[in-house]
Amino acid sequence: MSHAATPYAPPPAYVPLQPPHVADLLAQTPRFANALGGSLHEWIVTEVGDGNLNLVFIVRGPLGSLVVKQSLPYVRCVGTSWPLSAQRAFFEYQALEKEYSLVPKHVPEPMLFLPENAAFIMEHLSPHIILRKGLIKGIHYLHLADHMSTFMAETLYKTSDFSTPTEEKRSQVALYSHNHSLCALTEQVIFEEPYESAKNNSWTSPQLDDLAEVLRTDKALRDEILQLRFQFQTNTEALLHGDLHTGSIMVTETETKVIDPEFAFYGPMGFDIGAYIGNLVMAFFSQDGHATPDNDREDYKAYILVQIKETWNLFKAKFVALWTSSALPVYQANRAGNFQDLFMRKLFTDSIRFAAAKTLRRIYGIAHVEDFKAIENNDLRAACERKATLFSIHLLKNTGSITNV
Amino acid sequence: MSHAATPYAPPPAYVPLQPPHVADLLAQTPRFANALGGSLHEWIVTEVGDGNLNLVFIVRGPLGSLVVKQSLPYVRCVGTSWPLSAQRAFFEYQALEKEYSLVPKHVPEPMLFLPENAAFIMEHLSPHIILRKGLIKGIHYLHLADHMSTFMAETLYKTSDFSTPTEEKRSQVALYSHNHSLCALTEQVIFEEPYESAKNNSWTSPQLDDLAEVLRTDKALRDEILQLRFQFQTNTEALLHGDLHTGSIMVTETETKVIDPEFAFYGPMGFDIGAYIGNLVMAFFSQDGHATPDNDREDYKAYILVQIKETWNLFKAKFVALWTSSALPVYQANRAGNFQDLFMRKLFTDSIRFAAAKTLRRIYGIAHVEDFKAIENNDLRAACERKATLFSIHLLKNTGSITNV
Ligand SMILES: Nc1ncnc2c1ncn2[C@@H]1O[C@H](COP(=O)(O)OP(=O)(O)O)[C@@H](O)[C@H]1O
Ligand SMILES: Nc1ncnc2c1ncn2[C@@H]1O[C@H](COP(=O)(O)OP(=O)(O)O)[C@@H](O)[C@H]1O
Ligand SMILES: [Mg+2]
Ligand SMILES: [Mg+2]
Ligand SMILES: [Mg+2]
Ligand SMILES: [Mg+2]
Ligand SMILES: [Mg+2]
């Protein structure tokens, strides 16, 4: 059976970039050289990638700065023993362009794709910090729920069948279905390994050994996870970011920018909403571990709970408003009757369930989160993680999936 | 936003074939010339296409016969005013090859794709007749449920995520997502027009005017149809035939062959099962219109009801057997617990609901079926169609509760 041609493949000559190459690359294009200012030897290139997969270079010149991100043909935090298609740089750039066209306020500007290097150039966000770090510090972001609900409502609604003619939608599904290596990675590390005896797994041990055992043996829990996995594999509701955790969001007190959509694909909307909400849930349960004698973090815990609630409420209001103002004829609200209401209820349930799955994988699988890792006392850390675990299992077992829609 | 490259496009020089061209084409390839036998001027070419979309030529020589099917860049039964991508010949050939590899007993052998002509060569089925005609005549086919359940179980299971690694599955979704013009046509004529005032619509009038009005105005019914449409648009469970009505099946008393998968795409499994079952439902309700003084057709009605029941029961048994013997580790039955059971129940409900939608479109939309059209007395025809309509509406509004045959 033949395959559709891959839209992009890194060339054979492709090698990991070193700082001097990065500067050379930028020097080749006048608009980048001008933006940095001065000359090549004045530019300072720093590799800052703290993520798990790629190289990220910040290039600073006398007048400005830029970011170059490159995909390696393997998982960076593991090494060459775990290959992963460097095609993902192409899909990340495609998705950044799409997101930037829909919500320019909340996405760094994508500037140029570099096919020879499986890399691209984008706006340098400064003085933004990673949201996860801000949440660990206990910083209040007043516009966060507003901004994130806008990002999710605009990107999910406007790439869905509610607003996109079917030929265009299916062409885009064709394109992003080639980003399958990243989908396979998600299926493995989120929906599979935490519920198996996998060598990538780890947890705070021995404190959580009993719960790790529950994940491996509870058949009812496994059923719920399998349903989510199957939904992830067979549903193409919208173009997802695909990795929308609090480490993929950069913030100041007034701005919110979403980075790193390399896992972009057409999938169930609840997977993105759940990723974000699940990471807020972890931020919440980790706060006791960050309490100090002068700050018991109770106020901040209340702030995070409000974030969760507000994010969903604003998301729902914005999504429904877009639907009301700009649906294709067949999905127009006056004709859709009860369908819209059913859809939004199912989406809420999906989101909660995916949030729970996202939480469990961060406590028992590969790639743990700083929220819990930063708690130095292991008993205290495990106590926080235990609460998050029990809460997630409870959600999965008690959100009867709505089967229609 | 860029698009993945189209896997096939007809060349600019493409023209509809005439019988002499067809003979010339076959003469170019020794294995076809040998199979037909004799020489070019002894071959008899007949265009037999009775379908709505394409040209079908039977070529008969002294030793054998072959079929050449060509896609036109428009809908044949409407004309050039309704363009439709001739790419569909490529997807039909891809799907035929896949189906033939899985169930060679029930698919004509695909022999050669002709990219210059948006056409292909396949086995000539003889003395097979179109199943729909057999059902109108009242012929009993003893192996039909066995054969059709095998065809559906093998093609649906073996292209699903239960047995196909995710990279391969998503590559195939990428390929078939390019067959979007045919999906758009389905969405229009099945899930939209019968519920609107569309100029393509027709029904037995004035007898069914009241029910046509119900389709256009019943909000609860519209909700059910919209849910099915959304499922059709966002679900990629398996590679579907996409047009599995009784006019796409050719039979003898002992053989069953499925033709015409030009609508092939990755969609919800219930759409294929529902297409077949919906057409049996229509065959059932049309029987009173074919009764004669010597044959009241009551036996045959009972036969069709048994067909429906047996088809589902055998399908379910075969599908579950495949699942038990050959699932990927994560979906293995011993680990999937209750998931398999839930899946099969949902698939049954989906199938019934799609069957109902398929029935309604054949009575109120474009492209009616011979089962009802062959009834000459309009009052009698309308009485049969009325029963089929009320039954379908009932199914759509009450399937929440049905989980068993
Ligand atoms: N546009 C940007 N501006 C400033 N810093 C960035 C930008 N993009 C990435 N970074 C930094 O690089 C880190 C890793 O980037 P990310 O895109 O998340 O890579 P990975 O895919 O490897 O996770 C981020 O956590 C952030 O600190
Ligand atoms: N392989 C075949 N052998 C014999 N007859 C065939 C074959 N394929 C098609 N036909 C005949 O041609 C008719 C139209 O073919 P079909 O593939 O259904 O075309 P369409 O896509 O236009 O509906 C069928 O109803 C059948 O009578
Ligand atoms: Mg990252
Ligand atoms: Mg990261
Ligand atoms: Mg990343
Ligand atoms: Mg046909
Ligand atoms: Mg056809």
Q: What is the pLDDT of residues A134-159, one digit of tens each?
A: 999 999 999 999 999 999 999 999 99
Query: What's the CA-to-centroid distance between A53 and ligand 5, angstroms?
Result: 6
10-residue averages of pLDDT along chain B (405 residues): 80 90 96 97 94 92 98 88 93 98 98 97 98 98 98 98 98 98 97 97 98 96 95 98 98 98 98 98 98 97 98 98 95 82 95 98 97 98 98 92 40
Instruction: Name every residue whose Cβ is closer than 8 Å to that of residue A191 and which is 6 or more positions away in sequence.
Output: A225, A226, A228, A229, A232, A357, B330
Nearest ligand 2 atom to alpha carbon B262: 21
User: How many CA atoms lie less than 13 Å away from A65 in the CB half-sphere?
Assistant: 13
Q: Looking at chain A from residue 143 to 172, which residues have their Cβ under 8 Å from any Cβ of chain B?
A: 161, 165-167, 169-172
Model pLDDT, residue B235: 98
Q: Does the C-beta of A53 come closer than 6 Å to ligand 1? A: yes
> Residue A156 and residue B335: Cα distance in Å, rounded?
33
Q: What is the DSSP string of A112-149?
A: EEETTTTEEEEEPP-S-EEHHHHHHHT---TTHHHHHH
Specify the pLDDT at position A405: 56
Q: Which residues of B touch A97 (CB under 8 A)?
A: 1
Q: Do B172 and A222 touch (CB under 8 A)?
A: no
> How far is the C-alpha of B392 from the C-alpha of B311, rounded, in Å?
19
**Residue of the nearest CA to atom 4 in ligand 2?**
B125
Polymer length of chain A: 405
Q: In this predicted structure, which of A216-220, A314-318, B4-8 has the lowest mean pLDDT? A: B4-8
Does A1 score more than 90 pLDDT? no
CB of A342 within 8 Å of a chain B CB? The answer is: yes
**For residue A237, which residues of chain B lie inside 8 Å, CB to CB?**
234
All residues of chain A having their beta carbon less than 8 Å from the beta carbon of residue B229 are 330
B402 touches A at CB < 8 Å: no
Ligand 2 atom at shortest distance from the alpha carbon of B122: 1
- CB of A262 closer than 6 A to ligand 1? yes
Chain A residues within 8 A of B330 when measuring between CB atoms: 191-192, 226, 229
A205 interfacial to chain B (CB closer than 8 Å): no
pLDDT band of residue A401 (cuts 50, 70, 90) is low
CB pairs < 8 Å spanning A and B = 159
Closest Cα partner for B273 from B306, B328, B314, B327? B314
Alpha carbons A44 and B17: distance in angstroms, whole number = 66
Q: Which atom belonging to ligand 1 lies closest to the Cα atom of A53?
A: 22
Of B7, B330, B336, the CB nearest to A4: B7
Q: Return the structure tokens found at B182.
A: 């045919």
| Domains parsed from chain B with CATH numbers | 19-123 (3.30.200.20), 129-398 (3.90.1200.10)
Q: Indicate if the pLDDT at residue A104 is higher than 60.
A: yes
The per-residue pLDDT for range A326-346, each reduced to its tens digit, is 999 999 977 767 899 999 999
Q: So what's the ipTM on this one?
A: 0.96
Contacts with B171 from chain A: Cβ below 8 Å: 3-4, 177-178, 180
pLDDT at B50: 79
Partner-chain contact B5 A7, CB within 8 Å: yes
Query: What are the residues whose beta carbon lies below 5 Å from ligand 7 (ion)?
Result: B 51, 53, 260, 262
Q: How many CB atoms within 10 Å of residue B340?
A: 20
Report chain A's mean pLDDT, rounded to a whole number.
Answer: 95
Chain B contact present for A187, CB below 8 A: yes
Residue A159 has φ and ψ, to the nearest 5°, of -110, 5
The mean pLDDT of A267-277, rounded to a whole number, is 98
Q: State the nearest Cα–Cα gap between A170 and chain B, in angstroms.
A: 5
- Residue B337 has its nearest CB partner, among A5, A219, A237, at A219
Give residue B2's pLDDT.
Answer: 64
The single residue listed with the structure tokens 């199912």 is A346
How far apart, in whole angstroms, are the C-alpha atoms of residue A247 and residue B244?
47
Closest-CA distance, B186 to chain A, in angstroms, reads 11
- A339 to chain B, any CB pair closer than 8 A? The answer is yes
Query: What is the model's pLDDT at position A403?
Result: 52
Taking residues A23-41, report their average pLDDT. 96
Of the pLDDT bands very low, low, confident and very high (cuts 50, 70, 90), residue A2 is low
Chain A, nearest residue to B236 by Cα:
A234
Helix A339-364 to helix A378-398 angle, to the nearest 10 degrees?
A: 150
pLDDT given at position B112: 98
Burial status of residue B380 (CB atoms within 10 A of its CB: 0-12, 13-18, 19 or more): middle
CA of A243 from ligand 4 middle (Å) equals 9
Compare CB distances from A180 to B98, B171, B346 and report the shortest one's residue: B171
Relative to the CA of A126, which ligand 1 atom is closest?
A: 4
- Token pair 């090549």 is found at A40
A171: pLDDT strictly greater than 50: yes
Model pLDDT for residues A108-124, shown as the tens digit of each residue: 999 999 999 999 999 99
Give CA–CA dist B244/B152, Å, rounded: 10
How far off is chain A from B8, nearest CA to CA, in Å? 9
Sign of CA dihedral A34, A40, A41, A47: positive
Say how many CA atoms lie within 13 Å of B348 toward its Cβ: 22
Residues of chain A in contact with residue B164, where contact means CB-CB under 8 angstroms, are: none
Instruction: Of A109, A128, A123, A104, give the one whose Cα is nearest residue A252.
Output: A128
- Ligand 2 atom with the smallest distance to the CA of B247 is 25
